[in-house]
Amino acid sequence: MSAVEVAAVPATRGFTAPLRFLGSELSLIARRRRNQAGLAVLASVPIIVAIAVRVSNPTSSGSGDGGPEFLSSITGNGIFVALAALALELQLFLPIAVAAVAGDAIAGEANVGTLRYLLTVPVHRTRLLAVKYVGIVVGTFIATVTVAGTGVLAGLLLFGGGDVTLLSGTTIGMGEGLLRLLAICLYLTACLAALGAVGLFVSTLTEQPMGATIAIVMFNMISWILGLIPQIEWLHPYLLTHWWNSFGDLLRDPVAWDPLRNGLLSAAAYIVIFLSAAWARFGTRDVTS
Amino acid sequence: MTAFAVESSGLTKRFGRQVAVNAVDLAVPRGAVYGFLGPNGSGKTTTIRMLLGLIRPTTGGHALLGERMPGGAAAVLPRVGALVEGPGFHPYLSGMDNLRRLDAADRTASAATAEARIRAALDRVGLGAAAGKRFRAYSLGMRQRLALAGAMLAPRDLLILDEPTNGLDPQGTREVRALIGALAAEGATVLLSTHLLSEVEQVCSHVGVMHQGNLVAQSTLEELRAEAAPHAQVHTDRPADAARVLRELGLTEVTHDGAGATGLLGPVAPEKVVAALVHDGVPVRGFAVVAADLEEQFVALTGEGFDVSG
């Protein structure tokens, strides 16, 4: 067999082969009990929120009561259960979900010894990072949509739907409200995907997935904490988490695009920097696991 | 097409100041079953990791099946089946699903034939019945078999197997050795790392001996056996006289103790030795020609013992 013949094989199957490995990666993430349990926890928050509001304040007209954003609007329209849940889970629960999947990406494979076998298949290291990152992003989107979807279902069930009153006071139909919720999910996925890129990089540094996950969660928390210190306000726009809460701007009429655009630019910068770092680190690293 | 399936020149790996592999020139001919023998920690696995492109050599280079590595990895590694430092699989997936994942990662593997190839590989290592069990429930021997099945998912021209019989019971060991023989008979080249001398003697045509990061010997097994020089051993109650006779006949490295004398025969015919002893009136109680066995040779090469129970 000649080398040319061998080299021609990937070219002819180049279309389906990458998707096959990606499919395998997604099913690996989806079939892990730990990830399934994590998703159930994420989904439990909007249910708890909906029930708590229903039980405590069944006749409230939705006047501000000092609680977290969106919580007071729930009784007016069930869709706000989804928004309240997203706001509540954005600081810790959603980042933990991203960190669990991202921390596992390379370190998990190294830890169980599958990394050396994937690389000798061979899977090119750049391709492995690409497939792993797409897996993280898809997982992030599913996590976000799970929170929002469960929130909408629980909210509609307990409070009903109808026209949505935006933060700016205008009213839109339920259909457009759901579309805006989907846009929020996409925006938050982009934000969390930046954390996922940090996570993928951290995951190339170690063979301990749990250690990588903890480091990613700490990175996230430090970013939130720094964001609370007014004395370093100059730093705030550059923090990973600074623009995340701007998702509420998608609920104004007209939409306040500036913070959203900044948020997406910030996420893109983090993604480029940390994916490059992961590539630089993992592309040449000796795999001794 | 080169004559060598594995060829390295000056392959060297330093970890900090420690030299793990020192200027190794491997030459594994196509079609050979090459026993890569050495005590634990002699640099075998590090060499294998370099061969497969998992770690970068500090200096030196190598080629697999005529393709320079690591540049030719995408072209050549699909034709190479590997078992590196024990099995590595996802514990919560079944053996079958673990192989599906490996196959899905291979761009050159066809999805249409995947199930059939996976089945065939599992059957070949005797894991067909346990294919659906989770990997974490596998015994050490079953894990080792699954790793071998992973190395055989596609037709391979070269198999690089690091300690493939580790953890197997005697029956499993025999099966795996038969499997290696069958793969070689089908035309594959096999590079087999092991610390078991008996394994080399049973299945290998060629042998390379590693010691403290150096390749201290490399040849066919026959050549190495031929180098095993025969000794003459005389049992007598007059060892000193026997030793003198042996020296006079031209034997070298002559020694004697309370029970007799021994010497390296060289070109001297054994019957001449007996005749000379009798002629000189040395009472011969026993006489033997003893060739050093492979184990003694390896001990001489490496200064360490091998586990030969395997």
Hey, are the CB atoms on B102 and A21 less than 8 Å from each other? Answer: no
Read off the pLDDT of residues B66-104 as tens digits, 9 standing for 90 and up.
Answer: 999 989 999 999 999 999 999 999 999 999 999 999 999
Same domain, B197 and B246: no
Q: What is the pLDDT of residue B220?
A: 92
Angle at B89 between CA A11 and CA B110, to 5 degrees: 25
Q: Binning pLDDT at 50, 70 and 90, where does residue B308 land?
A: very low
Q: What is the pLDDT of residue B298?
A: 77
Same domain, B79 and B182: yes
CA A244, A246, A250, A255: dihedral to nearest 10 degrees? -140
CA B43, B44, B49, B53: dihedral to nearest 10 degrees? 90
Q: Which domain holds residue B100?
A: 4-220
Hey, are the CB atoms on A13 and B100 less than 8 Å from each other? Answer: no
Between CA B130 and CA B141 the distance in angstroms is 12
Residues of B with CB under 8 A from a CB of A: 49, 52-56, 66-67, 72-80, 82, 84-93, 100-102, 104-111, 150, 157
Same domain, B53 and B179: yes
Radius of gyration of chain B (CA): 24
Q: Assess if residue B65 is contained within a domain.
A: yes
B108 interaction partners in chain A (CB closer than 8 Å)? 6, 9-10, 13, 17
Same domain, B18 and B40: yes
Hey, are the CB atoms on B49 and A287 less than 8 Å from each other? Answer: yes
Q: Is the ipTM of this complex over 0.90?
A: no
Two tokens, residue A206: 């170690």
Between CA B105 and CA A20 the distance in angstroms is 7
Q: Assess if residue B303 is contained within a domain.
A: no
Rounded to whole angstroms, what are the CA distances from B190 to A288, B38, B44, B162? 23, 17, 15, 11
Q: Read out DSSP for A242-272?
A: TTGGGGGGGGSSS--HHHHHHHHHHHHHHHH
Query: If we measure between CA atoms, which residue out of B105, B152, B145 comes closest to residue A109?
Result: B105
Query: If we measure between CA atoms, which residue out of B240, B236, B238 comes closest to residue B287?
Result: B236
What mean pLDDT is predicted for residues B144-150? 95
Q: What is the mean pLDDT of chain A?
A: 90
Same domain, B276 and B202: no
Distance from the A193 Cα atom to the nearest Cα atom in chain B, whole angstroms: 24
Same domain, B131 and B280: no
What mean pLDDT is predicted for residues A176-193? 97
Two tokens, residue A105: 């990406």
- pLDDT value at A53 more than 80: yes
Share of chain A above pLDDT 70, in %: 89
Amino acid B13 reads K
Distance from the A199 Cα atom to the nearest Cα atom in chain B, whole angstroms: 21
Cβ proximity of A21 and A35 under 8 Å? no
- pLDDT value at B301 more than 90: no
Query: Could you tell me if A60 lies within 8 Å of chain B, comparing CB atoms?
Result: no
Q: What is the pLDDT of residue A76?
A: 84
What mean pLDDT is predicted for residues B278-301? 82
Same domain, B53 and B95: yes
Amino acid B155 reads P
Q: Which of the given ranges, A188-202, B153-167, B200-214, B254-268, has the highest pLDDT on average?
A: A188-202
Q: Residue B161: give its domain's CATH number.
A: 3.40.50.300
Q: What is the pLDDT of residue A262?
A: 96
A29 interaction partners in chain B (CB closer than 8 Å)? none
In the 8-state DSSP scheme, what is residue A164? E
Amino acid B88 reads G
Q: Final residue of a domain: which of B220, B244, B274? A: B220
Q: Final residue of a domain: which of B220, B249, B269? A: B220
Neighbours of B169 (CB within 10 A): 12
Hey, are the CB atoms on A123 and B105 less than 8 Å from each other? Answer: yes
Q: What is the total count of domains within chain B?
A: 2
Look-up of token digits 């009561």? A65
Q: Assess if residue B268 is contained within a domain.
A: yes
* Best residue in A26, A33, A117, A128 for a mutation probing chain B (most B CBs within 10 Å): A117
Q: Assess if residue B297 is contained within a domain.
A: no
Read off the pLDDT of residues B8-59 as tens digits, 9 standing for 90 and up.
Answer: 999 999 999 999 999 999 999 999 999 999 888 899 999 999 999 999 999 9
Hey, are the CB atoms on B79 and A286 less than 8 Å from each other? Answer: no
Q: Assess if residue B302 is contained within a domain.
A: no
Same domain, B59 and B202: yes
Q: What is the pLDDT of residue B306?
A: 52
Cβ proximity of B154 and B108 under 8 Å? yes
Q: Label residue A273 exposed, middle or buried (CB < 10 Å: 0-12, 13-18, 19+).
A: middle
Q: Assess if residue B243 is contained within a domain.
A: yes
Same domain, B169 and B253: no
A21 interaction partners in chain B (CB closer than 8 Å)? 104-105, 107
Cβ proximity of B65 and B157 under 8 Å? yes
Q: Assess if residue B246 is contained within a domain.
A: yes
Q: Final residue of a domain: which of B181, B202, B220? A: B220
SS3 (DSSP) at A172: strand
Distance from the A209 Cα atom to the nearest Cα atom in chain B, whole angstroms: 13
Same domain, B211 and B234: no
- pLDDT value at B219 more than 80: yes
CA B137, B141, B143, B147: dihedral to nearest 10 degrees? -160
Sign of CA dihedral B166, B168, B170, B174: negative
Query: If we measure between CA atoms, which residue out of A95, A100, A130, A97 comes closest to residue A209?
Result: A100
Q: What is the pLDDT of residue B1?
A: 61
Same domain, B208 and B268: no
Q: Read out DSSP for chain B?
A: --SEEEEEEEEEEEETTEEEEEEE--EEETT-EEEEE--TTSSHHHHHHHHTTSS--SEEEEEETTEEETTTHHHHGGGEEEE-SS----TTSBHHHHHHHHHHH-TTS-GGGHHHHHHHHHHHTT-GGGTTSBGGGS-HHHHHHHHHHHHTSS--SEEEEESTTTT--HHHHHHHHHHHHHHHHTT-EEEEEES-HHHHHHH-SEEEEEETTEEEEEEEHHHHHHTS-EEEEEE-S-HHHHHHHHHHHT-EEEEEETTEEEEE-TTS-HHHHHHHHHHTT---SEEEEEEPPHHHHHHHHHSS------
Same domain, B80 and B151: yes
Query: Could you tell me if A3 lies within 8 Å of chain B, comparing CB atoms?
Result: yes
Read off the pLDDT of residues B158-182 as tens digits, 9 standing for 90 and up.
Answer: 999 999 998 889 998 999 999 999 9
